[in-house]
Amino acid sequence: MRTLLWMVLIVPTIAAAQARDQEIRLARSAAPADVSKDAKVYVLDHDHYIVADPGHSTESCLVARPMLQAFAPMCGDPEADGTILAVERFRSVEVLAGKSPDVIKQEIAAGFKSGRFHAPKRPALIFMMSSAQLLPNPDFTKIGKFQPHLMVFYPGMHNADYGLVDSNDNNVPGVIEADSPMSAMIVVMHDWVDPAPTQ
């Protein structure tokens, strides 16, 4: 009886710790180790984000859930953490609550209007280089692996601002969500970052 009670009490705790360690590993894999090793890491806990590791650098990492079954490891600088990553944490929580992409998009737009969310005041850099990524396509109808990339967020950007042209070639940098608070230039990188091996 005591053995059974020990298993009932301890096994879920061990499983939760393993799940948290896994999420930390995935979050840190968004960027090269030199960037992410000392970063603050957010993890999901009962459908909201908490700081699992306060770190001691200026970077912050998390695994966003832009759709159910999607995994978007991200690491960003302080400007990104207070702006874009705050939006992505909110989006993930709303996804897990069962809200549709259209409803969440409306909520985020309202959040920018109300002052709940803020656009970057300077370019905000986010790494998305994890080989574990499963990202949605632009219309949120399916998920899949894209490519390792960086995103530079700044409000109101357009391709023409930087002499860029519209292109289907992923090697050509391009602006998404142009002329919005979350416009971003995507720059494809050469190499994936693999999550650290389990101990």
Percent of the chain surpassing pLDDT 70: 90
Instruction: Count the Cβ atoms, other than its own, within 10 Å of residue 175.
Output: 22
**Confidence (pTM):** 0.89
For residue range 30-78, list pLDDT tens digits in order: 999 999 999 999 999 988 999 999 999 999 999 999 999 999 999 999 9
CA distance readout (Å), 160 to 91, 152, 175, 186, 189: 29, 16, 9, 14, 22
- Within 8 A by CB and 6+ apart from 164, the residues are 172, 173, 174, 175, 185
Mind giving me the DSSP string for 57-96?
Answer: SS-EEEEE-SSTT-BEEEEE-HHHHHTHHHHHHHHHHHHH
- The predicted-structure confidence for 137-172, as pLDDT tens digits, reads as follows 888 888 999 999 999 999 999 999 999 998 989 889
